[in-house]
Amino acid sequence: MTKIALLDYGMGNLHSASKALATVGADVSITNDAAVIKAADKIVFPGVGAMRDCMAQMREQGIDQAVQQAVFNKPVMAICVGMQALFTESLEFERTACLDVLQGQVKKFDSAWQDQASEAIKIPHMGWNTISEMDLSHPLWQGIDEHAHFYFVHSYYCAPEDESVIAAVCDYGQPFCASVIKDNLFATQFHPEKSHNDGLQLLKNFVEWKI
């Protein structure tokens, strides 16, 4: 059974993520213990809340170093604010230095963007939306249909400098990066643990991912 370290720094949606991972066959430890993280086969890096507070909690508990080390030697999946934290900096409220694992900024949705009905988008982006432009031959997207629906809750989005890492896009007034894949790193802006069958399939794919 794949051992998953679900990182606990006081800012993650840990219960639902843990339950979903266990449902698809993972042995889950909710932890901020460096030894447990090191011993795990894979890492899941969740997050909710304001980036400034999240980064402060990560640094206080050493989660920032754990993630930066893990991305070099084992599969890592980051969710929502966890994905945003991987980038160089966030523009949420004030510039906040993030982990700089991926180069780019985290930007706020522009309220001038319009939806398909030519109405201004609502911020935060909350609820179900489709994703597209996935490489369906990649193991992480196995069993996921094109234009699959996932659950989003966010006011900020990631803008990678290297667009080749973008693994899926979502349209919310404008197309934005909904997922990234780089080597052993996988991240989603949406919440697979809240996305029913498609979300469980995606988590199962991560648990079974061989790299």
pLDDT tens for each residue of the chain, 211 residues long = 999 999 998 877 799 999 999 999 999 999 999 889 989 999 999 988 888 888 898 898 888 888 888 888 899 999 999 999 999 999 988 899 999 999 999 999 998 898 777 889 999 999 999 999 999 999 999 999 888 899 999 999 999 999 999 999 999 999 999 999 999 999 999 999 999 999 999 999 999 999 8
Among 42, 76, 66, 54, which Cα is nearest to 9's?
Answer: 54
* pTM given for the model: 0.95
DSSP-assigned letters across all residues of 182-194: ETTEEEESSBGGG
**For the chain, which residues make up each domain, given as ranges?**
3-208
Is 80 noted as a catalytic residue in this protein?
yes
Is 196 noted as a catalytic residue in this protein?
no
Return the CATH class of domain 3-208: alpha beta
Selected catalytic residue, list 54, 80, 158, 177: 80
